[in-house]
């Protein structure tokens, strides 16, 4: 049986795209992937005037919601935060009658400046990445979204131009394809702290 193709929305937020290489390549990979609606939020809302109606409709039209961003001060860039503040309205995403996006999948795709060993208890950043992203995870929970651990590229500036970047890019393509074909092993995935290119729990056959 042909699996039903799921529609993926990638919301990309990076305010300094001129100086980004890792995210630019990831953005290109996402925008080229079949079944993906790719939105460059900073291009669409350079003056932060987010159109709530448009954005909510986009959420309704897709099955998987991806936030792709570089970590800025342990959180999303400002415009993506603004997006959350405005679009995830009471009565739409949460609260009374706020079940409009419940049941959809939610995946953060993040890059960090620091290496992996910064992100642990006692490390420079004191917290594992997954813990730092707990506001996003709890937001997903509140909205009834199924949270997938962040697909992560640590020390992104150092990955540019070497094999690590290529593997990460290929992993991103695989992940998007698997999400579209419903081949991501969700039970295995949620147990992982973060997803990386070598920990993707993919299953061969699509699950109906």
Partner 1 sequence: MTGLLFQAFVYLCAAVIAVPVAKRLGLGSVLGYLIAGIVIGPVLGLVGSETEGIQHIAEFGVVMMLFLVGLELEPRTLWTMRNKLLGLGGLQVGVTIVLVMAAAMALGQPATIALAIGLVFSLSSTAIVLQTLNEKGLMKSDGGQSSFSVLLFQDIAVIPMLALIPLLALPELAHHGDGHGGGHGAEFSLIEGLAGWQVAIVNIAAIAAVIAGGHYLSRPMFRFIAASKLREIFTAAALLLVVAIAFLMTLVGLSPALGTFLAGVVLANSEFRHELESDIEPFKGLLLGLFFITVGAGIDFTLLFNNAASVFGLTIGLMVLKAAVLLGLAYMFKLRGADQWLFTLALAQAGEFGFVLLSFTVQNSVIPTDLADLLLLVVALSMLLTPALFILFDRVVLPRMDKDQGRDADEITEKGAAIICGMGRFGQVINRVLKGNGYETVVLDLSAETVDGFNRFGIRTFYGDASRPDLLGAAGLEEAGLLVVAIDDMERALEIVKHARRERPDLHIVARARNRHHVYEFYKAGADDIVRETFDSAVRASRYALEAFGIHPHEAEKLVTMFENHDRDGIRRLARLYDPDIPAFENEPYMKLAREIQEEMEDALSDRPSVHDEVRRAWLPPGAKAQDD
Tokens representing 166 are: 């290529």
For the bound state, the minimum distance from the C-beta of residue 203 to partner 1, rounded and expressed in Å, comes to 35
d(CA 14, CA 10) in angstroms, rounded, equals 13
Among 25, 66, 70, 194, binds partner 1 (CB under 8 A): 70
Site membership for partner 1, residue 47 (CB under 8 A): yes
For the bound state, the minimum distance from the C-beta of residue 156 to partner 1, rounded and expressed in Å, comes to 8
For residue 67, the cross-strand partners are 11, 108
What string marks each residue from 140 to 179 as x (binds partner 1 by CB under 8 A) or -? Answer: -----------------x----------------------
For the chain, list the strands marked E by DSSP: 8-12, 36-40, 64-70, 105-111, 146-147, 151-153
Site membership for partner 1, residue 73 (CB under 8 A): yes
d(CA 84, CA 132) in angstroms, rounded, equals 17
User: Alpha-carbon torsion 73, 165, 44, 11, what sign?
Assistant: negative
Among 72, 116, 123, 186, binds partner 1 (CB under 8 A): 72
Tokens representing 120 are: 């642990």
Closer to partner 1 by Cβ: residue 80 or 148:
80
Q: Which residues make up the interface to partner 1 (CB under 8 A)?
A: 15-19, 21, 42-44, 46-47, 70-73, 113-114, 157
């Amino acid at each position: 049986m042909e699996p039903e193709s799921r529609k993926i929305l990638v919301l990309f937020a990076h305010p300094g795209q001129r100086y980004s290489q890792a995210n630019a390549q990831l953005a290109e990979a996402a925008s080229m992937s079949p079944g993906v609606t790719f939105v460059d939020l900073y291009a669409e809302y350079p003056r932060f005037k987010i159109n709530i109606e448009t954005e909510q409709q986009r959420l309704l039209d897709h099955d998987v919601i991806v936030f792709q961003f570089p970590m800025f001060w342990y959180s999303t860039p400002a415009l993506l935060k603004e997006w959350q503040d405005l679009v995830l309205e009471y009565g739409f995403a949460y609260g009374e009658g706020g079940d409009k996006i419940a049941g959809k999948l939610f995946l953060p795709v993040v890059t960090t400046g620091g290496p992996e060993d910064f992100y642990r208890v006692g490390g420079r950043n004191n917290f594992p990445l997954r813990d730092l992203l707990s506001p996003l995870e709890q937001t997903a929970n509140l909205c009834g979204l199924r949270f997938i651990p962040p697909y992560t590229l640590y020390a992104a500036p150092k990955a540019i131009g070497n094999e690590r970047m290529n593997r990460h890019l290929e992993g991103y393509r695989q992940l998007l394809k698997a999400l579209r074909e419903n081949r991501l092993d969700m039970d295995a995935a949620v147990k992982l702290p973060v997803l990386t290119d070598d920990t993707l729990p993919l299953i061969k056959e699509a699950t109906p």
